Structure 1
Amino acid sequence: MSIAIFASNPTAVTLEDPYVLHGRPLRPGTRLEDTSRYSHDVWHLTPARLKIHEYALIINFLSLPQRFRPAAKQLFYTLLSLEPPDGEVLPTVATIRGMFTEIRRFVMWLDKRWPPEQNELSLLSSGDLEDYGKHLLARFPNNRSQRESSRGGVRVLWRWRLQMGEHALRFDPLHLDGWRESTHTARGENKTDRLPEEVMGPLLVWALRFIDDFAPDILEADREWRATRDIRVGPNRDRADVGPRLQAILDEHVDAGRPLPGWRGQPSLSQFGRLLGCRQGSIRPHLDALTTAAAVVGVVDSAFLNGTIQGRLDGAPWVDSIATSHETANGLARLGRILQASCYVVIAFLSGMRESEVKHIKRDCIEIKYDEDGRPYRWKLSSLAFKGEDEVEGVPATWTVCATVVRAVEMLEKLQPTTCDYLFAGLLHGNGTKKSSNEVVGNRATNTHLNELVVFVNQLCADRGRSDLILDSAGRPFKLKTSYFRRTLAWFIARHPGGVIAGALQYRHRSIRMFEGYAGTSDSGFRAEVESEQAIARGEVYMEMIEAHQHLDLVGPSAEEATRRLTDFGDRVQFQGQLALDKHRLRRITKRNDPAIYPGEYITCVNDPAKALCEKARRGNSEGLPAHGGCLPLACRNVTLTPENVAAWQREIARIDKRLDSRPTLAPRLKQLHQNRRAEVVAFLVANGQEILPT
């Protein structure tokens, strides 16, 4: 039976029981025969979740009223595996799971409203939906976004009506009064928060400290922990030598004055069993020896690994010891997670990769380019890119990174077993009772580990009397999220003086175009984020100029045009008689009405492509790129000067005069070049009504 026939005749499910994910690409290694069928009460969606860090999802029809389950099954089978109607796109699995939440909310409300015998959703009336809209307003009075999501879930019954048969909605809810609260929806603005500088600075320093200084101790403890797990329990005939071998270990503890590993105040039989390769029952006959040794050296709350701490903080070991118990503050499980989180901080912040891209990093993902002397000069990191790509499975992509990111990747390779490909897979430490279905750590778990890093560092600083805690401006611990790092990097590059130039130098690129390759692909959007931050930075400069009336003091060829643009911008930013200080509103205004004025140290560019000399140089370039040094400020008609620009030129003249007066005397050709440059600058300032200050 074809899918089309089944869609028009859902009662035929008794004749054929299709796999609900047959229209979806599945994770590698997953067989369609192992996935959920239409008749199942619970549909498992995880096989169609192609990003390895995404959490498991199910659709549980048992949570719906019995009479609405057939309609719900038909709807979600349609969304999962049938061709979408014209004008619709096939929704993602996560979106479909979100729709189920909204449909469940609706039918639970409807179940209390309709008579028991009524079950066809096609019988929904305008009154039903108007009342549901009122219910949502009362249920979520301060959450417009939730109300819109809930209404959108119900409207799917109309949008996919051709596939829904007898359960299709017979009218478009958008035509109902009050169904749509507003016709205006703000789109395109990235409102993701960034990390404050007072947080990012110490966070990055501590992350690097873990990678460079503390990691060797964690890795040595991990090696010893794995070695104890590899010891196999011997046969019964080997138990006779347990006593002598146990006594040898106890003697070592007594001679070194080292406490015995313990559990709840008593020597840990499980730890000694692992060390000796026997079961706990083989140690019980020797409890007297354990008690005698414990009376001499004592018992600690947890079993500690024997490696000596090498890492130093303020001249002392950064931790006293590393414990095997996953419940202790300095346990290997916790420190391993913190080291992994530290690597995430470094990679995410210094690469600009998205969460999904970081989580798909595999072993041997680094490619290093060497110069003719064997020195590394470029490092490339390979992973998968998803956003903006045509393939839902992701496409291979490459990021140009720095040596610091490479160190973080190498640390992850050492932290994971050699048999593990994905470097952000869950670590093996801990009690082992809870296993994730993901191949790598999910987003929520990573957020937890990042904040565990913050807690550990702040406690360490408090214990050592250090001031470099990870706190916000109010002195409170900052709650980290993975989404902050990419946004913070865009802000950092765009806002800091020389940031774009510094980034270009570090990564061996010449301009802002580096960020397309830097972020993996041209569709990654990172360049747009940087340019957005640059625009908002200019907007703040515009506001400062307007408030200080600097736009009235401009001189130069484009001074009149600059004054006009800034005055118009100021009128748009005015809000109830005051300048708008809200960054989101300023970003929107700047995006729509950018005066295209670019303040610099020596000149302020009032961009007009028709007059721009750099544009003419670009058009003469075979690649269409701005020529190196293509800006000609002394000749370009797009130039205007602020008082700060004039002061910069005056300092330039003073530097030239000092160089001309220096001893020994300059070579004739070099002296002539300096004199020509001075004459050009002086002529430029005089032509723009400026006096030359004596040097």
Structure 2
Amino acid sequence: MTPRPRPIAQSSTWEEAPLSPWGRFGDDEWLLDIRTAGRRADQNRFNWAVPPPESSKISAGDHGRLIRATKHFLWSMHYDPPSGRKRSSPASIHQKAMVLRSIVEWMAKEGLARFAEIDPDAIERLSIWLRCRPSRAGKGNIATATITNYLLAIKDLYRQRGKLDDAPQVNPLPLETTYEAAGHTRATKGAIPFIPEPQAIAILAEALRWIEDHGDTIVMAETIRRDARAQGLLRGKRQASDYVRAALRLASLVGPSGEALGGAYAVRHAATHLVEACYIVIAGFVGMRVSEILSMKAGAIEYRPIGESGVNQAYVVARLFKTVDDPDGRVERWVAPAPVVRAVDLLERLSAPLRETSGREELFLVKNTQFGEIVPVTHMHMSLRINNFARHVHVPDHDGKPWPFSTHQFRKTFARFVARRDRTQLLGLAEHFKHASVAMTARGYVGSDFDLHSLIDHEARAETAAALDRLLAAKRLGGKMGERIVAGNARFRGRAGEQVRRDYVAFILEETDLRIHACDYGWCVFQQETSRCGGELQPDEAGRAPAVCLTCANMVIEAKHAGYWRDRRRGNAALLPDANPMTAAVLNETIGQCERVLAQIGDDDGQD
């Protein structure tokens, strides 16, 4: 059991106060107690024993005193934070230490020997220096969000001045917030992007194909390779590879691309990509954070009854770290659709030898190539591996370049996918989740993950804004609401109406609760009083259908939906020759609906 740090009351000075079970705040090397899954080992250490920079204008003694003052400040943020603020966690302390060490380096070059010398003029110089710094990726300068973190550290030093021996004595930002000083606005802050639809569909479809159609084959090949190698090693190391090749050729197994799994390299390569496919399916179908997925251990699938229905629901059991005080995280459960249950089963079978050898329980393990040690997979490593998988399965380029996947993008894409309320895809999700209604899928399956709820709402607003912008600028729309919009949107069209349109969309989002709900054949500008499907807060999926929506005052159809209506017309026309008179009448009515919609939106080509 990990020992608890001593309470501050037992420490004679702040330097003796416990930082972790292994060190104090006064130590030159900090060993932090951070147990978030997926962190690298070096992210739990911090070294303060650094010399002044070569161009330093202060003495080594002054530099050492700045380092000591920085440790004192971080101690105060952990044990006695500003009013209304949570005390800094070990991970937050590490992040703040990184920022403050850079600030100390800048102060040494500027000739500032104490934090008390920082004033608004110094902040202006610091801001200029920060804006000129390159990003870690080497692509442009650092982000405005990073500059905000630097300025916030200085502001917090000022807020804590009464508890510290050295801190700014005048407000370093008297007339503006840290965000304003950093230039961190909606336009500059950026955001983790969702995966574009073609790339998201491609990588998720390939990952599903790997686990559903080829998972058992790859696991079998890996088992044969491992057993044959063990037998070969008993006869000598040189013969191990011969045993492996012979056993695999005898099995005659074929991989996802039709390649023969006839050698150790091909099998290990396929097994590595299968682990990546499992991660992608879990992230894409559940929306968990990377730290939560990487915390999964053997036995991660749990079944619980749904009320008194007699039906059991599968859940993924993992640990939630964000906003949780316990460094080990809090055990949580996420509803697991069938593909995710399948992915976890494959991960347990693939990781079994590594778990047995290492004594660890995690499902995402890898053998360190430098030391041969079996260690958990890190966030960074998983991002690299996702991109390797995308290249291997030939995910199409985006704007002529490979899309740069990251772990958190799947969570963002999942939220956007739910927010869009695509009817056909939600029906598929409802089946996977074993929900009685699509509304339950759309609202209920994110459990206690309030951050994901917020993200879904944000994406719903973004989808509404994008749809409103297009509809207000359109010259031709279908559906009853579409006809009304076209009749009154002249002032919003063209370049002259761009700003008017943007202002109106912003007003709608800020001042009303209007949401536009998607389906595969159009948009619902939902209003309860005119809803034909019977929805109260949003369209009722049970009552929603093309024939119903075409008679509803909320319906809008644009050119992007033409494919659905063409396919619907074509499918009904194909049934006409063999239909009896009553059926033919229904088919002709449906075909007529499709043709009227296509004429409304200006898609009168491709007549069948």
- Both structures adopt the same fold (TM-score exceeding 0.5): yes
Aligned to 2:340: 405
Aligned to 1:321: 263
Task: Note if 1:114 corresponds to 2:119.
Answer: no
Task: Note if 1:42 corresponds to 2:41.
Answer: no
Task: Note if 1:629 corresponds to 2:565.
Answer: no
Aligned to 1:185: 185
Contact 1:367–1:380 (CA under 8 A) maintained in structure 2: yes
| Mapped partners of 1:218, 1:451: distance in 2 | 23
| Mapped partners of 2:168, 2:433: distance in 1 | 56
Which residue, out of 508, 518, 527, partners 2:445? 518
The alpha-carbon distance between structure 1 residues 6 and 472, as it changes in their structure 2 partners (threshold 3 A), is same
Aligned to 2:272: 337
Aligned to 2:248: 308
After superposition, residues 63-462 of structure 1 pair within 5 angstroms as 63=50, 65-80=63-78, 82-114=79-111, 119-139=113-133, 142-143=141-142, 144-164=144-164, 166-175=165-174, 180-181=180-181, 185-186=185-186, 191-194=192-195, 196-198=197-199, 199-200=202-203, 203-204=206-207, 207-208=210-211, 210-225=214-229, 270-271=237-238, 304=244, 306-309=246-249, 310-313=252-255, 317-322=259-264, 330=266, 332=268, 334-368=269-303, 378-387=313-322, 393-416=328-351, 417=353, 419=356, 420=359, 422-428=361-367, 431=369, 433=371, 435=373, 440-454=376-390, 457=392
| Mapped partners of 1:315, 1:635: distance in 2 | 44
The alpha-carbon distance between structure 1 residues 51 and 586, as it changes in their structure 2 partners (threshold 3 A), is farther
Which residue, out of 430, 447, 472, partners 1:504? 430
Contact 1:337–1:427 (CA under 8 A) maintained in structure 2: no
Aligned to 1:489: 414
The alpha-carbon distance between structure 1 residues 19 and 543, as it changes in their structure 2 partners (threshold 3 A), is closer
Task: Note if 1:607 corresponds to 2:526.
Answer: yes
- Per the alignment, in what secondary structure is the counterpart of residue 550 of structure 1? coil
Please report how far the alpha carbon of residue 495 of structure 1 lies from its aligned counterpart in structure 2 after TM superposition: 7.1
| Mapped partners of 2:10, 2:494: distance in 1 | 62
Contact 1:348–1:354 (CA under 8 A) maintained in structure 2: yes
Task: Note if 1:55 corresponds to 2:40.
Answer: yes
| Mapped partners of 2:539, 2:525: distance in 1 | 20
Deviation per CA, 1:42-86, whole angstroms, max 9, x where unpaired?
Answer: 0111x2x13232223222111263232321221222233x03120
Work out the number of aligned pairs and report it: 546
Contact 2:460–2:515 (CA under 8 A) maintained in structure 1: no
The alpha-carbon distance between structure 1 residues 489 and 394, as it changes in their structure 2 partners (threshold 3 A), is same
Aligned to 1:549: 475
Please report how far the alpha carbon of residue 217 of structure 1 lies from its aligned counterpart in structure 2 after TM superposition: 0.7
- Per the alignment, in what secondary structure is the counterpart of residue 152 of structure 1? helix
Please report how far the alpha carbon of residue 93 of structure 1 lies from its aligned counterpart in structure 2 after TM superposition: 2.7
Please report how far the alpha carbon of residue 344 of structure 1 lies from its aligned counterpart in structure 2 after TM superposition: 1.4
Query: Which stretch of the first structure deviates more once superposed, 473-482 or 64-73?
Result: 473-482
Contact 2:228–2:244 (CA under 8 A) maintained in structure 1: no
Aligned to 1:284: none
The alpha-carbon distance between structure 1 residues 128 and 181, as it changes in their structure 2 partners (threshold 3 A), is closer
Contact 1:555–1:641 (CA under 8 A) maintained in structure 2: yes
The alpha-carbon distance between structure 1 residues 626 and 189, as it changes in their structure 2 partners (threshold 3 A), is farther
The alpha-carbon distance between structure 1 residues 102 and 321, as it changes in their structure 2 partners (threshold 3 A), is same
| Mapped partners of 2:253, 2:289: distance in 1 | 32
Contact 1:572–1:589 (CA under 8 A) maintained in structure 2: no
The alpha-carbon distance between structure 1 residues 105 and 573, as it changes in their structure 2 partners (threshold 3 A), is farther
Please report how far the alpha carbon of residue 442 of structure 1 lies from its aligned counterpart in structure 2 after TM superposition: 0.8
Please report how far the alpha carbon of residue 200 of structure 1 lies from its aligned counterpart in structure 2 after TM superposition: 1.8
Q: In the alignment, residue 506 of structure 1 is paired with which amino acid?
A: H
Contact 1:157–1:168 (CA under 8 A) maintained in structure 2: yes
| Mapped partners of 1:627, 1:471: distance in 2 | 33
Please report how far the alpha carbon of residue 376 of structure 1 lies from its aligned counterpart in structure 2 after TM superposition: 8.9
Contact 2:208–2:281 (CA under 8 A) maintained in structure 1: no
Aligned to 1:240: none
| Mapped partners of 1:550, 1:522: distance in 2 | 41
Please report how far the alpha carbon of residue 271 of structure 1 lies from its aligned counterpart in structure 2 after TM superposition: 4.2
The alpha-carbon distance between structure 1 residues 549 and 367, as it changes in their structure 2 partners (threshold 3 A), is same
| Mapped partners of 1:54, 1:587: distance in 2 | 41
Please report how far the alpha carbon of residue 630 of structure 1 lies from its aligned counterpart in structure 2 after TM superposition: 8.3
| Mapped partners of 2:177, 2:332: distance in 1 | 46
The alpha-carbon distance between structure 1 residues 444 and 639, as it changes in their structure 2 partners (threshold 3 A), is closer
Please report how far the alpha carbon of residue 197 of structure 1 lies from its aligned counterpart in structure 2 after TM superposition: 2.0
Q: In the alignment, residue 193 of structure 2 is paired with which amino acid?
A: T
| Mapped partners of 1:335, 1:634: distance in 2 | 47
Contact 2:277–2:389 (CA under 8 A) maintained in structure 1: yes
Please report how far the alpha carbon of residue 177 of structure 1 lies from its aligned counterpart in structure 2 after TM superposition: 8.0
Point out where structure 2 has 5 or more consecutive residues left out of the alignment.
1-5, 52-62, 135-139, 597-608
The alpha-carbon distance between structure 1 residues 316 and 73, as it changes in their structure 2 partners (threshold 3 A), is closer
Contact 1:363–1:423 (CA under 8 A) maintained in structure 2: yes
Q: In the alignment, residue 629 of structure 1 is paired with which amino acid?
A: G
The alpha-carbon distance between structure 1 residues 94 and 39, as it changes in their structure 2 partners (threshold 3 A), is closer
Please report how far the alpha carbon of residue 154 of structure 1 lies from its aligned counterpart in structure 2 after TM superposition: 2.3
Please report how far the alpha carbon of residue 321 of structure 1 lies from its aligned counterpart in structure 2 after TM superposition: 0.8
Please report how far the alpha carbon of residue 427 of structure 1 lies from its aligned counterpart in structure 2 after TM superposition: 3.2
| Mapped partners of 2:519, 2:109: distance in 1 | 66
Contact 1:562–1:597 (CA under 8 A) maintained in structure 2: no
- Per the alignment, in what secondary structure is the counterpart of residue 396 of structure 1? strand
Q: In the alignment, residue 607 of structure 1 is paired with which amino acid?
A: F
| Mapped partners of 2:38, 2:522: distance in 1 | 49
After superposition, residues 541-690 of structure 1 pair within 5 angstroms as 541-550=467-476, 555=480, 574-575=497-498, 591-592=509-510, 596-598=515-517, 605-609=524-528, 618=536, 628-629=542-543, 638-639=553-554, 663=580
| Mapped partners of 2:348, 2:504: distance in 1 | 44
Deviation per CA, 1:324-376, whole angstroms, max 9, x where unpaired?
Answer: xxxxxx474x55433322221222223322212211222122235799xxx99
| Mapped partners of 2:554, 2:256: distance in 1 | 53
Please report how far the alpha carbon of residue 446 of structure 1 lies from its aligned counterpart in structure 2 after TM superposition: 1.4
After superposition, residues 527-538 of structure 1 pair within 5 angstroms as 527-530=453-456, 532-533=458-459, 535-538=461-464
| Mapped partners of 2:237, 2:519: distance in 1 | 68
RMSD, aligned α-carbons: 5.2
Greater radius of gyration (CA): 1
TM-score normalised to structure 1 length: 0.63
TM-score normalised to structure 2 length: 0.71
Contact 2:337–2:429 (CA under 8 A) maintained in structure 1: no
Q: In the alignment, residue 371 of structure 2 is paired with which amino acid?
A: T
Deviation per CA, 1:513-542, whole angstroms, max 9, x where unpaired?
Answer: 4255533424141x5545554554454444
Contact 2:39–2:379 (CA under 8 A) maintained in structure 1: yes
Contact 1:362–1:383 (CA under 8 A) maintained in structure 2: yes
Q: In the alignment, residue 451 of structure 1 is paired with which amino acid?
A: N
The alpha-carbon distance between structure 1 residues 354 and 618, as it changes in their structure 2 partners (threshold 3 A), is same
Contact 1:607–1:638 (CA under 8 A) maintained in structure 2: no
Q: In the alignment, residue 99 of structure 1 is paired with which amino acid?
A: K
Contact 1:389–1:395 (CA under 8 A) maintained in structure 2: yes
